[in-house]
Amino acid sequence: MSEYTDSELLEQFRHKDTRNYAFNLIVRKYQQKLYYHIRKIVIDHDDAHDVSQNTFIKAWKGLNNFREDSQLYTWLYRIATNESLTFLKQKKTKFLIPLGDVEYELSGNLTSDYNFSGDKIQMKLQKAILTLPEKQRIVFNMKYFDNIKYEDMSRILDTSVGALKASFHHAVHKIEKYLSND
């Protein structure tokens, strides 16, 4: 399979005869990246899988209206981030979990997750990340693990570059403090 550019995939998607094929290629191209982005937010493998499915369903429904003002991956990351946050809010509401206890529950999920393959240091880092407020956690993950540029993050999260840099800076300091307190 040759690697198509996003523009070529979008062009194929606009044609009724190649729409399904093009979307299938889009899913293949971005599925793994989006899964890990979502997984860092919702932690649990099964939840990340469900949110990934919802992300691609939303993408399928909205791709006809995609204006290419941003890159395709930026648009998909935005959907994935919003779906992840919506999922966490629904989880809080459904299980009547107080806002501060969600991170504790996610940390418990991480510890008991047989799909987690990290060592002790990685586990400690992940627990430190879970102590961050939601926005800082997402910004830290996107910058540290996914190496997403602030400008792209700004489009994904609909936030200024300055605010993102400040969030990342605060997140790094909180993680350093958490890691040095042991």
d(CA 49, CA 157): 21
Supply the pLDDT for residue 179.
87
Share of the chain above pLDDT 70, in %: 84
What is the CATH class of 117-182? mainly alpha
The closest alpha carbon to 18, from 28, 27, 8, belongs to 8
pLDDT (mean) for 128-151: 91
Q: How confident is the model at residue 97 (pLDDT cuts 50, 70, 90)?
A: low
Supply the pLDDT for residue 54.
97
Would you kindly state where each structural domain of the chain is located, as residue ranges? 1-96, 117-182
Q: What is the CA radius of gyration of the chain?
A: 17
Per-residue pLDDT of 1-39, as tens digits, reads 458 999 999 999 999 999 999 999 999 999 999 999 999
The structure's pTM equals: 0.80
Q: Using DSSP, state whether 113 is helix, strand or coil.
A: coil
| Three-point CA angle 57, 143, 92, nearest 5° | 50
DSSP 144: I
pLDDT (mean) for 102-126: 59
pLDDT (mean) for 118-126: 73
**Residue 162 vs residue 179, higher pLDDT:** 162
Question: How many beta carbons lie within 10 A of that of residue 36, not counting itself?
Answer: 14
Supply the pLDDT for residue 118.
55
Q: How confident is the model at residue 182 (pLDDT cuts 50, 70, 90)?
A: low
DSSP 64: G
d(CA 127, CA 104): 9
Q: Using DSSP, state whether 116 is helix, strand or coil.
A: coil
d(CA 75, CA 108): 31
pLDDT (mean) for 84-106: 68
Supply the pLDDT for residue 145.
87
CATH label, 1-96, candidates 1.10.10.410, 1.10.1740.10, 2.40.50.140, 2.60.40.10: 1.10.1740.10
